[in-house]
């Protein structure tokens, strides 16, 4: 095991996969300058052919990466921040997600899109979106949302090896998180959830960076005799439905924590799944802890409590258990 930060985990995953497979290359704005600190010495090690700088044109370079993937390359697209995906929405939806189906399986697009989410930093509405659920609704895309350095490294490596397009949503509030990560080729398969904390009274399914707040809430709830099981799906598409349903059938209660806007959120999809498949196991209504359906304000005091917090999670669990 080696202690890694969130940023170290990205570096390790990219370096290992680029070393393993010469078809893997990075493309995006300012990638040659290591602007986030996660690609040190990559230009020196891999050269400018495999660390490709682009103009400020997401539609252009994401479309170019799609073409490269169709002819056998395995691009890793750095879109700088997740909302910039909107600029390339036509490329992602009309080409990347659909081409395998449109061409009857004759084309595949083994590409990975890194979509860092910079919210909670007073960057206002255009830069603070967390579009996990938006892209989850599009068939043909696989979606991962890691919550710790080990999962980030393992899922990013798995994404790069996938023969289908994968979007990796990275919660940059976790940049300073540290964790022991296995050395070597530790790949975490997509579609396998992780039980971060076992419990018997209520299931808390937490998405991406909200896992940290959910674990904090579970620790405080335990002092009052409430045992919360915290599940991290890790991958949203495919989703480990079996793990969630099994937990709810044990605890009989469900709280879903999601940084997305509440309407049509990931939390909504998981809630619908449990309502359809495990309704008779429930002893209380399902609760969602999400972000209100408003644009994110620039004002630091207004933004501070808009996302799921440990206090909001604890309150939802207490109400559900009561």
**Catalytic residue ranges:** 127
Written as six digits, the tokens of 43 are 């230009």
Written as six digits, the tokens of 79 are 């879109």
Written as six digits, the tokens of 157 are 């490596």
Alpha helix locations (H) across 137-251?
A: 149-161, 210-222, 241-251
19 CB contacts (<8 Å, ≥6 apart)? none
Closest C-alpha among 292, 120, 90 to residue 208: 120
The terminus-to-terminus CA distance of the chain in angstroms comes to 42
220 burial type by CB count under 10 A (0-12 exposed, 13-18 middle, 19+ buried): middle
Q: How many CB atoms lie within 10 A of CB 154?
A: 23
Written as six digits, the tokens of 7 are 């940023």
Pairing of strands 74-78, 24-28: parallel
């Amino acid at each position: 095991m080696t202690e890694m930060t969130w940023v170290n985990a990205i570096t390790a995953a990219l370096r290992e996969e680029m070393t393993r497979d010469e078809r893997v290359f990075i493309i995006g704005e300012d990638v040659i300058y290591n602007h986030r600190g996660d690609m040190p010495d990559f230009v020196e090690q891999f050269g400018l052919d495999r660390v490709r700088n682009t103009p400020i044109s997401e539609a252009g370079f994401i479309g170019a990466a799609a073409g490269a993937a169709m002819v056998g390359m395995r691009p890793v697209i750095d879109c700088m921040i997740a909302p910039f995906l909107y600029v390339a929405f036509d490329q992602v939806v009309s080409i990347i997600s659909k081409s395998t189906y449109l061409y009857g399986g004759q084309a595949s697009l083994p590409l990975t899109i890194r979509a860092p989410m910079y919210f909670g930093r007073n960057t206002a509405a255009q830069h603070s979106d967390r579009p996990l659920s938006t892209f989850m609704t599009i068939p043909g895309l696989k979606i991962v949302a890691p919550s710790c350095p080990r999962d980030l490294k393992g899922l990013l490596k798995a994404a790069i090896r996938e023969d289908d397009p994968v979007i990796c949503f990275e919660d940059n509030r976790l940049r300073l998180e540290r964790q022991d990560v296995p050395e070597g080729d530790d790949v975490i398969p997509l579609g396998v959830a992780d039980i971060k904390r076992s419990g018997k009274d209520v299931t808390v399914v937490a998405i991406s960076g909200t896992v940290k707040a959910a674990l904090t809430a579970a620790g405080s709830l335990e002092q009052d005799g409430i045992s919360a099981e915290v599940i991290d799906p890790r991958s949203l598409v495919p989703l480990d439905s079996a793990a969630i349903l099994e937990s709810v059938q044990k605890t009989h209660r469900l709280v879903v924590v999601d940084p997305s806007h509440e309407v049509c959120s990931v939390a909504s999809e998981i809630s619908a799944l449990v309502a359809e498949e495990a309704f008779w196991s429930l002893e209380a209504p399902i609760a969602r802890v999400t972000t209100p359906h408003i644009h994110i304000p620039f004002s630091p005091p207004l933004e501070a409590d808009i996302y799921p917090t440990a206090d909001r999670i604890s309150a939802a669990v207490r109400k559900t258990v009561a």
